[in-house]
């Protein structure tokens, strides 16, 4: 079903790697703690499988969603599991589960999403920018399915670029997903000379 070559997926994975590296640096600067980045994955999946890419769809998480506009359409989604969210809020000095807590997570999402998107833009020469994020606490499956549905009219495939940021010395990690439109993927690959 996938129509991407291994070489194309490798290139997309490398983009995700550099993007999440920059996001990790931004998070580290905010927290004053070292941040590790897991090896990212780039997978072309049928829509139903893409919903499960970030784990059990019934798990509760706080999602920060940033729509990306410009030369390509895409969505960045950051997922914070509840325990990790609480640790992160504590590190930032705000009360988890409060309006301040959600606002802080939204701001983290905004900064990480922007640094990710900016590095994509630099590497590819694409003019892209994120819109302000929305923060929702819900089932992971409901969050991802609703994001995917927006662009699912003419495609049955989603490209999921997935990486994890881990705050060292803390039981704290978050999942970072980039979900581009299919035209967006072609555009990305074109800029890399791999279309």
- Distance (Å) of CA 187 to CA 13, 52, 114, 139: 15, 26, 19, 31
Smallest gap from Cβ 33 to other proteins, in A, equals 29
Nearer Cβ to other proteins, position 70 or 141? 141
Smallest gap from Cβ 147 to other proteins, in A, equals 8
Element (H, E) at 74: strand 74-80
Smallest gap from Cβ 60 to other proteins, in A, equals 6
Tokens of 170: 């803390």
**What value does the CA radius of gyration of the chain take, rounded to a whole number of Å?**
16
Smallest gap from Cβ 144 to other proteins, in A, equals 8
Nearer Cβ to other proteins, position 17 or 183? 183
Q: How far apart are CA 190 and CA 187, in angstroms?
A: 5
* Residue numbers at the binding site for other proteins (CB under 8 A): 46-48, 51-52, 57-58, 60, 65, 67, 131, 134, 136-154, 156
Element (H, E) at 188: helix 182-191
Nearer Cβ to other proteins, position 151 or 164? 151
174 - beta bridge partners? 165
Nearer Cβ to other proteins, position 22 or 135? 135
Q: How far apart are CA 184 and CA 188, in angstroms?
A: 6
DSSP letter, residue 127: -
Smallest gap from Cβ 127 to other proteins, in A, equals 18
Smallest gap from Cβ 42 to other proteins, in A, equals 21
Nearer Cβ to other proteins, position 92 or 97? 97
Nearer Cβ to other proteins, position 37 or 144? 144
Q: With b meaning 16 or more CB within 10 Å and e meaning fewer, what string describes 152-173?
A: eeeeebbbbbbbbbbbeeeebb
């Amino acid at each position: 079903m996938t129509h991407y070559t291994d070489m194309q997926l490798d290139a997309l994975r490398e983009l995700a790697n550099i993007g999440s590296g920059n996001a990790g640096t931004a998070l580290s600067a905010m927290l004053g703690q070292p941040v590790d980045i897991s090896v990212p994955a780039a997978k072309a999946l049928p829509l139903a499988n893409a919903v499960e890419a970030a784990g059990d769809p019934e798990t509760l998480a706080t999602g920060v969603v940033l729509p990306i506009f410009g030369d390509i359409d895409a969505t960045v989604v950051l997922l914070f599991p509840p325990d990790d969210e609480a640790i992160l809020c504590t590190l930032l000095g705000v009360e988890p589960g409060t309006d301040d807590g959600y606002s802080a997570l939204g701001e983290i999402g905004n900064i990480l999403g922007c640094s990710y998107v900016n590095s994509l833009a630099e590497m590819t020469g694409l003019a892209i920018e994120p819109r302000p994020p929305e923060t929702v606490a819900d089932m992971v499956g409901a969050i991802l399915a609703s994001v995917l549905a927006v662009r699912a009219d003419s495609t049955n495939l989603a490209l999921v670029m997935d990486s994890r940021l881990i705050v060292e010395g803390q039981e704290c990690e978050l999942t970072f997903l980039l979900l581009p439109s299919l035209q967006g993927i072609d555009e990305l690959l074109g800029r890399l000379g791999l279309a």
